[in-house]
A and B are shown apart, each in its own frame.
Chain A
Amino acid sequence: MSEQRDHVRDDGFDDWLDAIEDGEPYYLTCSEEHGFLPPRHVCPACGSADVEPAPLPATGILETFTVTSVSTPTFEDDAPYVVAIADFGPVRLTGRVVERDADDVEIGMTVEPDVVSSETSGERVLAFRWCSTSWCC
């Protein structure tokens, strides 16, 4: 497979990961209050060009998860790992559950978003950290 040049950023996506690292996570919203992720010129739900960032709720609720044992080559040294979808209200996110044994992950857990590095590639990966208490986040 072809390789891209090193360090070419993906506008919107990398800016969004930067914002998570800076502790200022956001999502995009339109005049109809649909929630969506960058990069966008219009709302994917209604086509509105009135697109504005808004602060992402600090925590989300885990809706589903899986322990992935067979990975793509880019995550071979990371496997097995837990991938989950968490509901943050206006948007859902897909991320890696960290700092928690696979056996202890459950639907309904409260998580906060973070960024970790892939053990295989060093690339940034959206992660979910478990909030053990209501005041942790």
Chain B
Amino acid sequence: MSEVRVAGIGLTPFGEYAERTTRELFAEASASAIDDADVARTDVEEVLYGNFLGELSERQGHQGPLMAEAAGVQAPAARYEAACASGSAPVREAVKRIRSGESDVLLVGGAERMTNLTTADATGALATAADDLWEVRAGVTFPSAYALMARAYFDTYGGSREALAHVAVKNHEHALSNELAHQQQAIDVSDVLEAPRISSPLGLYDSCPISDGAAALVLTSESYAEEHGLDASVAITGTGQGGDRLALHDREFLARSPATRRAGERAYDDAGISADEVDVAEVHDCFTIAEVLAIEALDLEPIGEGISAARDCRTTIDGDRPVNLSGGLKAKGHPVGATGTAQIAEIAALLRGDHPNSEYVEDATTALTHNAGGTVATAIVHVLEVVA
């Protein structure tokens, strides 16, 4: 089985760029990734692209060929959709293809344009990740679904809005040095608690912003990287996906993420590591409660204790195992289709030492990314390791 190397990474700034089309955003990110990898465009065998809302925000379907064009690559291309996990679904597919020997060089990525929609329309578009008949028609929005989980968590395990606020404060702090982040702005616990409620118990600062942006990776086989003398010291050594029923009310637990647990177990097993070995993680914190549920399901924190991890500085920049050093979705931003790819780009940069926060994880060799779709009916986890 061929090892999969992260040869190049490329990110646009995440933020409010309503006028920027996804084809232009992806053109920038893919050019950066190809440049960073130093591979010939003619060597790229396929383009795997993630996007969630293109039909709603840009009236654009059939985006695969469009994005290959934008990247200047003459290769077959397809788009992957898994709601907010749309950006890591193509990464997982690319890993499988390179491992099988089918491909040596793949351009992988995703983009999303969201701020050209009104807040109400963006809320409606994001709600399409939930069950239309049984959730959306009862009034469920994305924030309200996570609010249902947050209140169920408080009721089951304890915890408070104040504990959740520490997750937001932490991730904003982490984003301060990340110039690509949507919100480079320090906040404190009272800012979070006093912000307007979107869907109780969650308020504005419990939620990630609505962002535009793109991310891209060049993934290669180990043999291609070696033959071409690429500087590709980080490998994707584990991949795992978990699934669950689409509607939250059909799940076994309202205050846990079984799909994340399944994805994590498969990725750890695939990489041959245990959760204890993870030095740093990027997890899907679309809402503060989402980070808590993720780190518990990934066995980075015991069930019921994830709520205190940020407050007690276990996951902060100088903690034992920092979580979301990029700023996370919460502060870095969440252009949905780009997020999963961007998490891998951030981790690769942290591990190879050219991330603004690399100095805080100098000895790190093992990392993970966790990307979730909807209310975690889809979870995709990747393990990355320094191998060269």
Residues of B within 8 A of A124 (CB): 137
Tell me which of A50-58, A68-76, A129-137 binds B.
Answer: A68-76
Chain A CB within 8 A of B120 CB: yes
Is B144 a contact partner of A83 (Cβ separation < 8 A)? yes
Chain B residue at minimal CB-CB distance from A73: B120
- Tell me how far the C-beta of B284 lies from the nearest C-beta in chain A, rounded to whole angstroms: 20
Q: List residues 131-179 of chain B with CB under 8 A from any CB of chain A.
A: 133-141, 143-144, 147-149, 151-152, 155
**CB-nearest residue of chain A relative to B118?**
A73
Q: Which residues of B contact A107 (CB under 8 A)?
A: 151, 155
Q: A13-B133, A69-B196 are in contact. Are A64 and B144 (CB under 8 A)?
A: no
Q: Which of A37, A44, A63, A93 contacts B254 (CB 8 A)?
A: A63
B263 to nearest A CB, angstroms?
20
Residues from chain B with Cβ under 8 Å of A85 in the complex: 148, 152, 248-249, 254
Q: Which of B207-254 contact A (CB under 8 A)?
A: 245, 247-250, 254
- A64 near B123 with CB under 8 A, answer no
Distance A17 CA – B22 CA, assembled complex (angstroms): 40
- Cα of A65 to Cα of B148 in the assembled complex, Å: 5
* Given A1-B56, A66-B151, A72-B124, CB of A94 within 8 Å of CB of B247: yes
Cα distance, A75 to B141, chains bound together (Å)? 10
Number of B interface residues at 8 Å Cβ cutoff, please give it: 37
Comparing B2-10, B71-79, B94-102, B198-206, the segment that makes contact with chain A is: B198-206
A66 touching B120 in the complex, CB below 8 Å, given contacts A13-B133, A78-B139, A83-B138: no
Task: Check A63–B152 contact: CB distance below 8 A.
Answer: yes
Bitwise, A1-22 to B at CB < 8 A (1) or not (0) is 1000000001001000000000
Residue B127 CB within 8 A of the other chain: yes
Contact A68 B141 (CB under 8 A): yes
CA distance A128 to B248 in the complex (A): 17
A126 within 8 A of B: yes
Which residues of A103-137 are within 8 A (CB) of B?
Answer: 107, 123-126
Q: Knowing A78-B139, A125-B137, say if A64 contacts B124 (CB, 8 Å).
A: no
CB distance from B140 to the nearest CB of A (A): 6
Closest CB in chain B relative to A54 CB, distance in Å = 17
User: In the complex, what distance in Å separates the CA atom of A96 from the CA atom of B249?
Assistant: 14
Closest to A75 in B: B139
Separation of A83 and B127 alpha carbons in the complex (Å): 14
CB distance from A30 to the nearest CB of B (A): 14
Q: Does B197 contact A (CB under 8 A)?
A: yes
Which residue of chain B is the closest to A13 with respect to CB atoms?
Answer: B133
Q: Could you tell me if B152 and A67 are in contact, using CB atoms closer than 8 angstroms?
A: no
- Give complex CA distance A68, B203 in Å: 10
Residues of A near B188 (CB, < 8 A) are none
For residue A125, which residues in chain B have a CB less than 8 angstroms away from its CB? 137-139
Complex CA distance for A36 and B144, rounded to whole angstroms: 22
Closest Cβ neighbor of B202 among chain A residues: A66
* A123→B197 contact, CB < 8 A: no
* Residues of B contacting A64 in the complex (Cβ-Cβ under 8 angstroms): 148-149, 151-152, 155, 254
- Min CB distance A29 to B, Å, is 14
**B121 interface hit (Cβ, 8 Å):** yes
User: How far is A84 from B197 in the complex, measured between Cα atoms in Å?
Assistant: 17
| Contact B138–A96 (Cβ < 8 Å) | yes
Given A13-B133, A68-B143, decide whether A94 and B149 contact each other with a Cβ distance below 8 A. Answer: no
Q: How far is the CA of A69 from the CA of B199 in the complex (A)?
A: 6
**Distance in angstroms between the alpha carbons of A81 and B200 in the assembled complex:** 11
Q: Is the CB of A72 within 8 A of B151?
A: no
- Which B residues are in CB contact (< 8 Å) with A91? 249
Contacts of A93 in B (CB 8 A): 134, 249
CB pair B123–A71 under 8 Å, yes or no, is yes
B140–A94 contact, CB under 8 A? yes
Contact in complex: A72, B123 (CB < 8 Å): yes
Bound-complex Cα distance A125 to B56 (A):
24
Residue B119, interface by CB 8 Å:
yes
Closest A residue to B57 using CB positions: A1
Give chain A residues whose Cβ lies under 8 Å from the Cβ of B199: 66-70
Select one of A10, A13, A71 contacting B139, CB under 8 A. A71
11 new A-B contacts, CB < 8 A, other than A13-B133, A68-B143, A123-B137, are A64-B155, A69-B198, A69-B200, A74-B124, A75-B139, A83-B144, A83-B148, A84-B148, A85-B254, A94-B140, A125-B139
Give 25 pairs: A residue, B residue, CB < 8 Å, sorted on A.
A1-B56, A10-B133, A36-B250, A44-B245, A64-B148, A64-B149, A66-B201, A68-B139, A68-B198, A69-B200, A70-B119, A70-B120, A70-B141, A70-B199, A71-B139, A72-B123, A73-B120, A73-B121, A85-B248, A92-B250, A93-B134, A94-B134, A94-B138, A96-B138, A125-B138
User: Which 6 A-B pairs rank lowest in CB-CB distance, beginning with the nearest?
Assistant: A66-B147, A72-B124, A92-B249, A64-B152, A67-B200, A68-B144
